[in-house]
Structure formats: C-alpha cells, structure tokens
Amino acid sequence: MRSRWRKEVVIWWIVLGLLSIAGIVLANVEGDALNNLKSNLKDPNNVLQSWDPTLVNPCTWFHVTCNSENSVTRVDLGNAALSGKLVPQLGQLLNLQYMELYSNNISGTIPAELGNLTSLVSLDLYLNSFTGRIPESLGKLSKLRFLRLNNNSLTGLIPESLTGIITLQVLDLSNNHLSGEVPSNGSFSLFTPISFANNNELCGPVTTTPCPGAPPFSPPPPFSLPPPSPGSSASSTGAIAGGVAAGAALLIAVPAIAFAWCRRRKPEEYFFDVPAEEDPEVHLGQLKRFSLRELQVATDSFSNKNILGRGGFGKVYKGRLADGSLVAVKRLKEERTPGGELQFQTEVEMISMAVHRHLLRLRGFCMTPTERLLVYPYMANGSVASCLRDRPPSEEPLDWPIRKCIALGSARGLSYLHDHCDPKIIHRDVKAANILLDEEFEAVVGDFGLAKLMDYKDTHVTTAVRGTIGHIAPEYLSTGKSSEKTDVFGYGIMLLELITGQRAFDLARLANDDDVMLLDWVKGLLKEKRLEKLVDPDLQHNYIDGEVEQLIQVALLCTQGSPTERPKMTEVVRMLEGDGLAERWEEWQKVEVVRQEIESEHYNHEFIPDSTYQLPAVELSGPR
C-alpha cells in the first residue's frame, strides 16, 4: 500500500514538472516572438525598454498582460510613436486576445500569420502606415469582435473570408485605398457605409456606388396604404400587416439603401413608433432600433421599482427583453424640438462606433416624437460609487487590486474617447457613479456621448455646464469651456474617491470641521502628513503603501488648476502602467516650490483661491 502511494506521488511530481516545463517553453516562445517584434521596431520613447530578452517570462514586461498560465493575452502598444514593421512570429502568440498597435507609424504588410491567433477578440491596427492587401487568413479569427484597420494605405479587395466571422461587431476599413465590390453577405450584411468610407474605388450596395456593369441603385419607393373599403376592416388589417412585413423585408434585404434613404429625408419628418409584434429586427449598423412598446414591456411600463438610478440626462431602468436578456434603459429627459430626430439618430450612430473594452456598449435605441431612449447591457455589479458607499453589509468591499484595475481600465476608456474617436468625445461628467462594473468587476465608462460630441477643436463652448459638484473642473465652471482636460480633472477626483471611499462633495464632513470638497480635504491631510487618514477604512490596511502613494500622485497631477498643466489621458494610462510617473511628479514638485515662492512675494489680494489651484509641495512616502 505504501509503495503504491509513493508511486502516485512520484507520478504527480512528474506531471507537475512537465506542466512547469511546458509553461516555461510557452513563455520562451512568446518572449522570443515579442523580442523579434521589438528588434524590428524603432522606439524613440523607450516604451519597450522593459522587454528584456534575458527574462524568460514576458509577463513581467510593461504593456504585456498574461493569464494565470503565464501566457500572453494582451499587447498594448497604442499611440507609442513606434515605427518599423510587424514580424510573422506574432502568429505564435496563440492565446492573444487583444492586439493594440493603433496610432503609430508601423509600415509594411499585415503578416498573414496573424490568422493563427484564433483566440483574438480585438485587432486594432488603425492610424498606421500599413500597405498591401488585407490577409485572407484573418477570416480564420472566429472569435474576433473588433477589427479596425482604418487610416492606413491598404490596397486590393476586401477578403470574402471576413464575412464568415459571425462574432464580428465592429468593422472599420475606412480611409484606405481598397477597391472592388464590398461583400454584403454574412456578417457584412449589417455594416453601414461608415465602415468603408473614403475608399474611392470600392463599390456595391453597401457603399451606394454601383460597380461597373451593375444596374444603378434606386431608393425604396415611398410606402402608402390603399384606402379602406367599407366593411372590409379584416382585409385592411391584412393589407396593413402585409405592407409592414414587405417593408421590413426590404429593410433587412437592403439595409444600406434604406439607411441612406432615411438620411435624405427632410428634417421636419418624424420617426413614428411601431408596435413590437409588427417591428422586425431593424438595425442601424450594429444597433437595434427598439419599439417603445417593447421597452415598456421590458421595464413594466417604466415602473419606479425598476429604477436603477437618476442622473442629469434622465432616469435609468432595469429591463428584461423578450429573449430573457437584462438591459439598462436610459430614458432621456431632454426637451424635444422639431427636426431633432435625424440629429439624434446621427449622434446615436456616432456613439455606437465608440467600442472599447472599457466603454459601455450601446445596444440599441428607441425614438418617437415624444421619447428618446438608449438601451445598454445591464451591469450586474452596479457602479464604483454604489460599491464604495451603498453596498449591503453582506457584500465584500472592493479590494485594493480591483481598485487598481478600475483606475487603469477607466483611464484606458477615456483615452479612447479622446484620442481614437472621430470626432472626439468629451464626457464632461467623469465620476465614480459613471464608472460601471461588469461581472468580473472590470471598469466600464458609461454615460459618454450624451454631452455634445466635439469636433477637431481645442475647446468647445457649451450652452450649459453639465457635471456634478466636486467633479467639475474650475475652467469649465467659470467659462463654460470644456476640453479633454475637463475629463482629466474629473478622473483625478474619481481616483480620490477610489482611494478614500469618500464622496467628492459631502456636507457631512462639516461636522468634523473638514472641507466639504474631497480635493480640499485630501490636500489638508497631505499638509498635515496624515496620509493614513486618506485610505478607505474598508480596506483594513490590505493595500500596498507605494501603490497608494502612486495613485495619489496621479490624482494630484490630474487635478491641477491650470488645464494645460494636467496630463492627457494617454499619459495617465502610461503613468498608471509605471512609465514616467516619477519624472512627472518630480517636475511638478519643483514647479510648485517656485510657484509658492513667487506667490508669497507677490500676493494678489484680488485673487480668490479655489480648491483646485494650488497645493504646497508635499513629500509622499506612503501612508504611515
């Protein structure tokens, strides 16, 4: 018996050893592949400095994420000023899910070996200088949801194989030199002309440009009902149902034509609602247009018991659709104006194009002469604010690793809105209540795009200041001018909420003679070197001092009084990833010392200090 037990132990040790060796071999293969990429790229900003070929495991490198088996699942090198060419060895990253190489100056062809990355969910190569054809092999990426190759110099036909990726949700091939007929079958049947814009030699129904030798397109004829005959209400009902079904079939068969025709309609025409049982699966691109009746049924006629929250844009209701899926329905309370329907539809479409792992995905919309509703996936874990301050006693508080992930994830989402949406989107109300948490407690930025979309301007003068007390940047409050730096300020306050668990504005702090503004309260504790009072007591000291210190530094850099001195969100992401924070913090400390000396010598009695202007230089060395 004992001999048999010893044999089993030996066998288990052998198995564990083999698994360990397999992990090391896998890490070696992936590390070699990434080092091949590094050697083929020019890196003026030393973004790849941590990619050390002497380290067996690439999971310790910056901009690389691994799973629990030490296999690379994510490469984040967007907007890193890289140039050079990709290498075929990238096809060896078999567990890679996210390849983010957007907004660089990478050239050459897209390696066909990327078709081996069958776990890939997102391939972002946009805003580069790629040439040549789109590889046919990309059609093998059966799990791919986001394919963005726009703003390159790609040529040739669009591979028919891509239409077989049934999981594909977002496709952007715009601003290239592609040619030939755009496929309209398979997954391509739902994409609109926006996905293929500015490729002058593309043709086909989706582009509304006929291919040579093909008959010209014509918009669908206006639909009219025959006049009812006396005593034939039943047959009239049948005619109506048949007419609606025919119209629906036409929309489904030729979505691009219908979309183009709808866009040419006169502004004063209204979009009328259709009862749910007569409303087919009509989509706008990847958006479903829900009927009002469908959403009334889902939310129990917008019952108060289903209210998830209230905000500046309206109430949010929990709903269950006919297929059983849970959704959050935002009922907008904006005043309706004649002619606003087409504008609303256009802006909804633009919001739907902002798709990122850390952005709340718009699922659909509803539009009637009196209602505007947006439909989102339901987030089971609520918002960061509710988890910090309104959680039931039976639920565990957010632990420190989750809070760090929330900080980084929300920064990545905001960075995408600012730098990779066209036109850029300014949130204007960044706060813990608008950062939602999915089933895995991953951060998802919500409520973006409900403020005005920004064009390519440095600032945008708004008709009304939108935001929440305690989160509003000083320049936005005083001038009505918002920019990306307005969001950076709100993000910095949100970081302080994460660290402290406190509200951004809380009159209850007056009871302890403390500041009602969270930023002022934090600065006061920093002056008194009482950093231990900053950290949320729910964490019960289960955090790493140095990491808390770093988050406080990022928060203070983001909440500087002058918007020009705040970092961009792309810089915030890099600082949170450990790149450049120490240098930026040291530089800020020096500037603050000089500023204090100047102000002490030349004090202007007309100057009214506010909570965002200055903070005496402090030396953060972690809570104690």
Binding-site annotation: residue ranges: 330
Q: Does residue 162 contact residue 142 with C-beta atoms inside 8 Å?
A: no
Q: 34 CB contacts (<8 Å, ≥6 apart)?
A: 51, 58, 61, 64, 72, 75, 93
Q: What is the DSSP pairing of strand 201-203 with strand 177-181?
A: parallel
Written as one letter, the residue type at 347 is: E
Which position among 76, 124, 172, 429 bears the catalytic label?
Answer: 429
613 HSE (CA, 13 A, CB side)? 7
Q: Does residue 274 contact residue 291 with C-beta atoms inside 8 Å?
A: yes
CA distance 271 to 331: 17
CA distance 174 to 126: 9
Residue 536 known to be catalytic = no
- The binding site for ATP consists of 330
Residue with tokens 């500041």: 515
What is the longest distance spanned by two Cα atoms in the chain? Answer: 97
Q: 357 CB contacts (<8 Å, ≥6 apart)?
A: 98, 122, 409, 412, 413, 442
Structure tokens at 156: 């040739």
Q: How far is CA 425 from the centre of its chain?
A: 11
Q: What is the DSSP pairing of strand 364-367 with strand 287-289?
A: parallel
Query: What are the start-end ranges of the E strands in 167-249?
Result: 170-172, 177-181, 201-203
Q: 309 CB contacts (<8 Å, ≥6 apart)?
A: 315, 316, 383, 433
Active site residues: 429
